[in-house]
Amino acid sequence: MSQPEVTIGTAGHIAHGKTSLIYALTGKLTLSHSEELKRGITIKLGYADMEIRKCDKCEKLSTKKKCPFCGGETSLVRKVSFVDSPGHESLMATVAAASSIMDGAMLVIAANEPCPQPQTEEHLKVLKLAGVNNIIVVQNKIDLVSDEQAVENYNQIKDLLARYDVDAPVIPASAHRSSNFDVILQAIEDFIPTPKRDKSKDPIMLTVRSFDVNKPGTDISDLVGGVVGGSIISGEFKVGQKIEIRPGVKEKGFEPIVTEIASLYSGKESLKKASPGGNIAIGTKLDPSLTGNDALAGRVVGLTGKLPPVFSELKLRVESFDRDIDFKPFINNEVVLVNAWTARSAGYVKSFKKDILELSVKPPVCIDPSVKVVLSRKVDGRWRLFGYGVIDESGT
């Protein structure tokens, strides 16, 4: 079982302990970029895989090969992959992108602050919008509050979940003290099942990263092609397949790019074929200059001729979130932040009549017409989630 079966996103307000909780569970620090390490916050999406194991003797769950409760041998139950989302409000677009590759979510809420904090509620809205219904809640930092404060915070969390019609367990825990982790693992097993996968469908992968793995000074004869990384949402990819990447790169006029799968990886493990579950890296035969510095992040990968259309203009039927802020009608040439699957683009308003919003989108996006497009607007100088749009039946 070399590939994770399910992708679990973390969500929650900044500094509520999402990254610390994943580190305590998996032993991997998802802050992998220099600026993240310097500032101590998640900026880009981070990944970490985890094995859920069951003790052959006492039957408790852990992540260890030796049971931490009785010392017995453990057996592998399931391998899962976490995708760690940033909590800062200015990075909400990254969360919206992440939600499109999640099979379930772990909403982390600190017990030592009133609930909900701004991004706690924003993240919950994004999860609901993306159809991520398999959710567990971890009430983190329980070691920092009294019993009375913990109960009060717990009730606030339950009220929040009720407002959004979310049926999720709330698990008191401490990432710092690694407490109640067996209960968290059991909740993952009970509430975030592995979805049924149809491998006969056309394969599609949503990219969140792309990079050049060649080290500076590598001899030209030893260079390898560029790599795209993300999550497969349907079908199965195999080494040797010819693939297409849409909408391509700016230098090529956003024409689709055609290449071949040279390698497949899940973490450090080489695969011959890959299906949905976890973060997958596809090694290609592309010039690595095309993939460096996340140049192909937000693109869609599939078999040639089997991908959804590319839109440079969108005609959307818009629905707004219920919020206290009084949003004004869209005006011509207003800039709207558009999230379509894992792509993030600027949308320039062409017209807005009743609930139909027409946008010119730069860069263009590749998306299935049935998928909801997340929209954000600037309010008092900050990007705030406004709502979503679905491509109007009359087309673009």
Domains of the chain are 6-191 (3.40.50.300), 204-303 (2.40.30.10), 310-391 (2.40.30.10)
Number of CB atoms found within 10 A of residue 240's CB: 10
With left for phi above 0 and alpha for psi between -120 and 50, is residue 281 left, alpha or beta? beta
Asked whether the beta carbons of 157 and 137 are under 8 A apart, the reply is yes
Q: What DSSP designation does 65 have?
A: S
Between 276 and 319, residue with greater pLDDT = 276
Asked whether the beta carbons of 319 and 386 are under 8 A apart, the reply is no
> What does the pLDDT read at residue 42?
31
Q: Give percent of the chain above pLDDT 70.
A: 88
Burial letters for 356-388: b for 16+ Cβ neighbours within 10 Å, e otherwise?
Answer: ebbbebebbbbbeeebbbbbbbeeeeebbbbbb
Of 133-137, 142-146, 384-388, the one with minimum mean pLDDT is 384-388
Q: What DSSP designation does 193 have?
A: P
Question: Does residue 39 have a pLDDT over 60?
Answer: no
Question: Does residue 169 have a pLDDT over 90?
Answer: yes
Between 214 and 118, residue with greater pLDDT = 214
Question: Does residue 110 have a pLDDT over 90?
Answer: yes
Question: Does residue 372 have a pLDDT over 80?
Answer: yes
